[in-house]
Structure 1
Amino acid sequence: MNKLLETTKNYPMTEIWNDSCSVQELKYCIENGGVGATTNPVIVLNVLKKELPLWEEQLKGIIKDKPHATEDEIAWDMIKLLGKTASKELLPIFNQTNGKQGRISFQTNAKFYRNKDLLLSHAIELASTVENSQIKAPTSKAGVEAFEEMTYQGISINATVSFTVAQAIAVAEAVERGLARRIKEGLSIDTMNPVCTIMAGRVDDYLKKDCKEKGILIEPEILEWAGVAVVKNAYRIYQEKGYRTTLLVAAYRNPYHWNQFIGGKIVLTIPYDWQLKYNSSCYEITSTIDSPINAVYLQQLKQLEEFNRAYLPNGLTLDEFEHYGAFLDTMNQFLNGYDELCKLIRKYMVI
């Protein structure tokens, strides 16, 4: 049995999602126990580049049918189209689980990360794209404020651009407020499935970069565990507090980002290439979610200021979320990726 399928069979609380809206990749994931998928402009750009022959005529058709549309409008039409197409693969799971699984995430415009109202209005628009939608927004100060309102509106959120325990707690508390408002007004929350991402691999990336820039010498293997330590600390707090939001692990860089969370009530959003690597590995499938981080490694990590900002529940204030180094690096990548998507579309418009 493939390792991911064995993971989901033995530990059904541990969900596997496909970190792409490619139908071919999603089908493989579902065959291996996958129950969700995600998109963002960078993912859509990569899928279009890889599968352009499959989408080129539809792109041309949208441009022809909308002679007055901007490249931004066409870009979002393509994002919705790819998401809609992939969502059909998940719809049976969505129906079977009453909305608790089988969702596909659409990401709000990264340019809105400082504006709660723009994030909310775009979330409402994207949520109407398909019935099994989940809506991503960055975990900035405005994003946290928007998550409460999205939840109140009945939208299942997926907090992204998130790297720290402080962000994860702020998201969970915002969702709890939104859910409480719905319950108070007699509105159902039965089908809602909020999740909060921690981009574990990007925590590692940022700390490696920070150590290099500061001339800090540390064993390379220790930095491979930083993101795992952050997720495990957030997971412990989530269980203690009884939050109704589920943690989601993203940004895969090593085996630990999968095999250290087996057995937990957690979502693992895994890119296709890492799914292949994990499935061909020889790791034993056993519950590891409660396995502690090597004490020596954790002690060394706690010597790093930027690790503590990610690891400690009060490591960042709400106002500091969007200024943390990993947030800045990732937001710039998302913004640049969106620009690249528009450039790709522009080639079909300016002819």
Structure 2
Amino acid sequence: MMAKHILEKLAETNPECEIWWDSSPLVYGTWRKKLLASAPEAKRAEWEAQLNRLFDPQTVAQTGEMGFRGVTTNPPLCLQALQDDPAFWAGRIAEVAAQMRNPTVEAVYWAVYLEVVRLGAEQIRAVWERSGGKYGYVSGQTDPRFVTDFDKMLTQGLELARLGPNVMVKIPGSKEGYDVIEELTARGISTNNTTSFTVPQYLACMSAVSRGLDRARAAGVDLGKWRSVITHMSARLGNIGDLKAEAELRGLSFTNEEITLGEMAVLKRAYRYGKANNHPSKMLQCSMRVTDEGGSASSLHIAAIAGSDMVYTCPPGYIAQLMAAEDRLPEFDAKAIDRDAPAELIERLRRIPYFRKAYDFDGMQPKEFVSFGAFAATATEFAAATRKTVDFVARVLEDMRADNAA
């Protein structure tokens, strides 16, 4: 009997849940090859079949089918694609620069990022076509350095949307970002709300989407292939923001499992609100972790919400961790999404201002989103990673100019 991948088992808990690939499709082949090279001999053939079912470009081209139902990318992940095939991208950067009247580093960088998104979208467009626009989207993100610049984000969002019908635009969870999401939605453009962690952000996103849909319908915009997802950056909420520091100052301590349950409580609250209000946006779970110690393993970031119809976007490293621990992971319970965290735990967590901001419906006002600990830390990290991508382009241009001068 064919062994199922752990993510295939998760997908079986709800036929409407979706497993996505969290990186460019362009790097999947190289990553797959490296993972199989390190696989236990007894599992290599099994893993190869599983990874082929998740994504095989030839199968996609021929049948329009793949195990992943979508893809998320961002400018930092673009660097992985460039580093995966530096010779190709050095040549492409040179071509892009040659076509520009004033090839500044920033202009070339953005054009190259658009190219990475475009090529990725083309690679899985057959999935989008076969599903009638339900699946097969590639999320392309506006520059993380401009999270409060409405005009810049809107301009870049429209550029991304023009790359192909299966490009979904990723916009950050700032006040200005939600204004952009409303505007893009009003034009029938699919969106992915990223850099988002809290119930107030998710409510702001749903409200922005609803306003945009009202405007689109009033203007007669075709919404037949429109989609919206709202990202919960789970482990980042509990581990890179202010939760632990604020807990320590109040004499409180939480285990890693309790922190994860708190993160999932935030996600479940937003998920249930959306369901209760029949909102068309889907919640998207990312930033998951695997705990593997003492002979047993778990990943509460997916196990605690099994049975939902959410999107799970999984980066290469996380998938590898799941596969390495597959024999020690418990079976998924399709009713997990309906279970709440212990009331006592939520009560203790709510003694922390940071958690109240994330969990309470009125925990923050939109103008506060960018100063929330997890948002500020993630935006800083993503901006730094984007600068590394820009520097990759800069070095290629420097080498090109040096060669021309020689």
- The CA distance in 2 between the partners of 1:220 and 1:103, in whole Å, is 37
1:223/1:211 Cα in 2 relative to 1: closer, same or farther (>3 Å)? farther
- The CA distance in 2 between the partners of 1:67 and 1:177, in whole Å, is 40
Shift, 1:209, TM fit: 4.8
CA contact (8 A) 2:118 2:164 kept: yes
Instruction: Give the counterpart of 1:14 among 3, 6, 17.
Output: 17
User: Secondary structure at 2:338's aligned position in 1?
Assistant: coil
Tell me the residue number matched to 1:232.
268
CA contact (8 A) 1:207 1:223 kept: no
1:47/1:300 Cα in 2 relative to 1: closer, same or farther (>3 Å)? farther
- The CA distance in 1 between the partners of 2:108 and 2:209, in whole Å, is 32
User: Secondary structure at 1:130's aligned position in 2?
Assistant: coil
Instruction: Give the counterpart of 1:249 among 285, 289, 294.
Output: 285
- The CA distance in 1 between the partners of 2:332 and 2:248, in whole Å, is 38
Deviation per CA, 1:320-347, whole angstroms, max 9, x where unpaired? 1111111111111121111111111111
Give 2:254's aligned amino acid: E
CA contact (8 A) 2:242 2:373 kept: no
- The CA distance in 1 between the partners of 2:286 and 2:278, in whole Å, is 22
Shift, 1:50, TM fit: 4.2
Residue 169 (1) aligns with residue 217 (2): no
Tell me the residue number matched to 2:164.
130
Shift, 1:240, TM fit: 1.0
Instruction: Give the counterpart of 1:30 among 29, 36, 55.
Output: 55
1:346/1:304 Cα in 2 relative to 1: closer, same or farther (>3 Å)? same
User: Secondary structure at 2:205's aligned position in 1?
Assistant: helix
Give 2:389's aligned amino acid: L
Tell me the residue number matched to 1:289.
337
1:308-327 alignment, distance < 5 Å: 308-327=356-375
Residue 268 (1) aligns with residue 312 (2): yes
User: Secondary structure at 2:395's aligned position in 1?
Assistant: helix
Instruction: Give the counterpart of 1:220 among 250, 255, 258.
Output: 255
CA contact (8 A) 1:14 1:262 kept: no
Which segments of structure 1 move beyond 6 Å, counting only runs of 4 or more?
Answer: none
Shift, 1:107, TM fit: 0.5
Tell me the residue number matched to 1:304.
352
Shift, 1:10, TM fit: 4.4
Q: TM-score, normalised by structure 1?
A: 0.93
CA contact (8 A) 1:107 1:136 kept: yes
User: Secondary structure at 1:289's aligned position in 2?
Assistant: helix
1:166/1:155 Cα in 2 relative to 1: closer, same or farther (>3 Å)? same
Shift, 1:253, TM fit: 2.5
CA contact (8 A) 2:13 2:306 kept: no
Identity of aligned residues (%): 26
- The CA distance in 1 between the partners of 2:268 and 2:165, in whole Å, is 32
Residue 76 (1) aligns with residue 110 (2): yes
Shift, 1:258, TM fit: 1.7
- The CA distance in 2 between the partners of 1:215 and 1:56, in whole Å, is 53
1:292/1:209 Cα in 2 relative to 1: closer, same or farther (>3 Å)? closer
Shift, 1:51, TM fit: 4.1
Give 1:305's aligned amino acid: P
Shift, 1:58, TM fit: 2.5
- The CA distance in 2 between the partners of 1:267 and 1:227, in whole Å, is 16
What is the alpha-carbon root mean square deviation over aligned residues? Answer: 2.1
